[in-house]
Amino acid sequence: MRQLFKITITAILIAVTASCLAAIAYGHTNGASSQLDAYTGQGIEVENASAETLPKATFYGNAIGSIITGDLFIINTANITQDISVNLYLTNIDQLTHSLKYLNLIVVIYYETVAENWERALLADGTPLPLLLLTMNNGAVSFNLPGIARYKISIKSGCFKSHPFTIDQENAIPHFYLETEFI
């Protein structure tokens, strides 16, 4: 009887822990995922990163954990010369507060040099674009990007602290919204 009890408890713990591995990004784009330049008719194309490359984390009660690197969005401005303004929002902070005490995400922007070869985006003076901190407190990061390139918005790393009670996985997964517009 005691052995059966141990096996049952172990099976339950394994099932709960295995189900906690979740992608932390669910993407939205700015409407139809394309915005046209009034002068050229060319647009900003935004797409969600593939499910395999999304950031990941394991959320469970009373834990301090880290976020595994992953991609959120791809922005294509290859056909336009105009600069763009980008806003990345954390849209479900109200739900996250029920499961997490804090969530800190380091956002990094890459540009495509050749097909599927990405490097850190650079400022006009040649220095890398600064890393951006997206938290449950600030809820958004904003930055400008020059046209004529493809960009990848990624989470470089991050950390969280969860509340000491059982985590509802749906409420612990951050949701993101990306907004782009011409400057």
Q: Where are the domains of the chain?
A: 22-182
> pTM for the whole thing?
0.79
Nearest CA among 89, 20, 17 for reference residue 56? 20
Reported as a single tens digit per residue, the pLDDT across 8-20 is 555 454 444 433 3
- Where do the DSSP E strands lie in the chain? 21-23, 34-36, 43-48, 56-58, 64-67, 70-76, 84-90, 100-114, 117-120, 132-135, 140-145, 150-162, 176-182
pLDDT top residue among 28 and 165 = 165
The tens digit of pLDDT for each residue in 94-125 reads 988 888 999 999 999 999 999 889 999 998 88
pLDDT of res. 126: 87
